[in-house]
Structure 1
Amino acid sequence: MNPKVSIIVPVYNVERYLDRCVQSLMNQTLKEIEIILVDDGSPDKCPQMCDEYAKNDYRVKVIHKNNAGLGMACNSGIEIVKGDYIAFCDSDDYVDVKMYEAMYKAALEHHADVVFTGIQTVDENGVVRPMSQPSQKAVLTQRKQIEAYLLNMVASEPSATNDRDIQMSAKVVLYKREMIEKYHLRFESERVYISEDLIWHIDVLAHASCVCLLPETFYYYYCNTTSLSKKVRTDRFPFFKSLHDEILHRCRNYGISDEIKLRADRLLIGYTRSDLKRVFNSLELSFKQKRELMVLVCEDAVLGNIFKTYPIQVMTLKHRIVLYLMKYKCYLLLNLLFRLS
């Protein structure tokens, strides 16, 4: 069988959720698929589970490798795919059984290099909440259209209420294998760049000739709202800056619009604001620790240059207030604002 779609599934420490994910893939209405399970050195029973799936369904292929992270696991899958199109699925998530048939048909109908769909969350109680999906069906073939879509994926314009309206997840997208192979597109490690899916999509959209937006949602992104294991990290700001710099570097190399500077700045602003809010609402850290982090961030040279040039005055009121308090280092007021919001 020549598979129409290859679905790459990085697997690590998800034995509780893996069967739900794999069953949703094996039961797809599009039967001509291959499912590539990449065991990323999982310490639980996942390696054995993967092998068992392969024994029971000839469409399942298994890669066992040393742990190197999500992005590298996806790359390992790309190396062996046989399908005309490639998709990715996280192993603690699951999908509607019609997902890949709908995306594949859209790709064929429009000769698309990429097909984007929506994403929704599902919690441990099965409660589903929408996140984002294309507002209407569209086929983008002009370079300016594709670049505009990419800009909105990086971040919104300064006056927009939301930091971003277009999701960046690679798990809800179908990619033409011919394009991936022709330009040797691969993921960066999430251990180097936070939001490695965004870097991936910069590379993809820089080379795509036809992009299809499908106003449907098939993907269930699992959010465990009761987990007590999520510790607040205080080391994320340098990663935000690295991502900001890499976005600018890649987009300029691809000759993408000068407006990318404004969007990348908004991305850094939004990530930093959201992270500081998490830190200041944490019960794990003392006020002294929170203030030290705030000083480190607000006195950073990169952020300082953005404060000088970014049109803060056109932002929505709540965002404008936070930015001015950060710019003028009003730490006590920032603390109060974050605690109240």
Structure 2
Amino acid sequence: MNCQNNPLVSVIVPVYNVEQYLDECLNSIRQQTYENLEIIVVEDCSTDKSLEVLSKHLNDQRIKLIRHEKNSGLSAARNTGIDAAKGDYIMFVDSDDLVHLSLIELCVKYAIVNDADLITYNFKAFEDGIKLSLQLDLSNVDNLKVLEQGENYFNQQHFAWLKFIRTSLVKSKRLYFPIGLYYEDWPFHWELGLVANKKFHIPAELLLYRQRKTSITGSSGKKLLDLFKVHSLVLNLLEQYKAVSLKEKFANKVKISQWSILTRIDKGLLGQALNDAKQINKVLKTKNYKFEISIRILIINLIVSLPNILGLKMLELLRFLIKR
């Protein structure tokens, strides 16, 4: 490990079929104002020219290329990066996104000042094809009120690429992403929050998230069903850690997620999605997970509680009204 004032930061970049975005992504990392980096690029058997694009960056001695022998998915690529990381801190950047050039400098600064296990920050979404400046206005950086998080952390977005983490915490607690599931950030986010003692948030949009038509966050297909599986994984974590105070926060997230799934999943998958929602709701009720009351939550909770035939008809009506 490196001295306290100049820690090594491991940046993990999974790569799979991103030839048109990879240059921008890697340049935004290589040009960081903080230079003591190891950039761990995990190439997951791309079938396009990603490897060819990547080869142009290998003259940077900070880049460590790891190639999977077979395509294993995003979770496996990130886990490979975790195992390879030698830095004092670890972070993830998806290979179609960009980071502001001062991101890592700010994270290191506030991690050291606060002896933080975890630093989080905000993101700015942008449409694919739009060019954005990576320069951040730092004129007011000294006035940034970095916020100590506590349980407020669990109100944040689940994305792994919004986190700057003490590596020893990740490795000692064996924090990994579940293999073979989409929406793998959910369990990682929750378990990380459960084991991290000092959590702080930088209220600035330091990552630029590219909105692509192929993104799973906009999916309406079978991938959405994995959300029910990750809900169950997180619920098991909360029970394991006896996190009673987080029950309501989690239940709220599940209910909001159910609205999203059931109002946009492909019609042919609606029956299975409804059954999956019923199962997780039954467990929540059995384990006494309360939730906040809102119009959407009331509607979706009522529909899921109905017999399947009536519930499906109500869902079809709801989906029709939303699309009007």
Q: What band does the TM-score fall into relative to the shorter chain? A: 0.7 to 0.9
Aligned: 1:59 with 2:49: no
SS in 2 for 1:83: coil
In the alignment of these two chains, the number of paired residues is 300
Q: Which residue of 1 aligns with 2:315?
A: 334
Selected match of 1:123 from 123, 127, 147: 127
CA distance in structure 2 between the aligned counterparts of 1:254 and 1:198, rounded to whole angstroms: 16
Percent identity over the alignment? 27
Secondary structure, counterpart of 2:76 in structure 1: helix
Superposed displacement of residue 110, structure 1: 0.8
User: For residue 21 of structure 2, what is the aligned residue in structure 1?
Assistant: 17
The alpha-carbon deviation at position 123 of structure 1 amounts to: 0.6
- The answer as to whether partners of 2:232 and 2:280 remain within 8 angstroms in 1 is no
What CA deviation, in whole Å up to 9, does each residue of 1:91-124 have, x standing for no partner? 0111111111111111111111110101221112
Question: How big is the shift at 1:90?
Answer: 0.2
CA distance in 2 between counterparts of 1:291 and 1:205 reads 32
Indicate which of 137, 141, 144 corresponds to 2:146: 137
Write out per-residue CA displacement over residues 238-289 of structure 1, whole angstroms, 9 at most, x where no aligned residue. x333222221221222232x2444444333332222112113xx5xx5xxx3
What CA RMSD, in Å, does the superposition of the two structures yield over aligned residues? 2.9
Partner residue, 1:131: none
Given candidates 94, 97, 100, the residue that maps to 2:98 is 94
2:184 aligned partner: 196
Tell me, in whole angstroms, the C-alpha distance in 1 between the residues paired with 2:119 and 2:250.
Answer: 24
Label 1:211 to 1:20 Cα distance change in 2 as closer, same or farther (>3 A): same
- Structure-2-length-normalised TM-score: 0.81
| Deviation of 1:13 (Å) | 0.5
The alignment partner of 2:84 has SS state of: coil
* Matching residue of 1:181: 171
Distance 1:125 1:231, change over 3 A: same
Segments of structure 2 that go 5 or more residues without pairing to the other structure are 133-143
For residues 310 and 250 of structure 1, the distance between their equivalents in structure 2, rounded to whole angstroms, comes to 14
1:245 aligns with 2:254: no
Equivalent residue runs for 1:1-341 within 5 Å: 4-54=8-58, 56-65=59-68, 66-126=70-130, 137-140=146-149, 145=150, 148-150=151-153, 152-153=154-155, 166-189=156-179, 191-192=180-181, 194-225=182-213, 232-234=220-222, 236-237=224-225, 239-256=226-243, 258-279=244-265, 285=267, 289=268, 292-293=271-272, 296=275, 300-304=278-282, 306=284, 315-328=293-306, 329-341=310-322
Shift of 1:28: 0.7
Distance verdict in 2 for CA 1:115–1:319, change over 3 Å: same
1:127 Cα deviation (Å)? 8.0
> 1:94 touches 1:220 (CA, 8 Å); kept in 2?
yes
List per-residue Cα deviations over 1:292-321 (Å, max 9, x = no partner).
Answer: 4566457x4443565797767x62224323
Consecutive unaligned residues of structure 1, counting only runs of 5 or more, are 129-134, 154-165
Distance 1:306 1:231, change over 3 A: closer
- Report the Cα distance in structure 2 between the residues aligned to 1:295 and 1:175, rounded to whole angstroms: 37
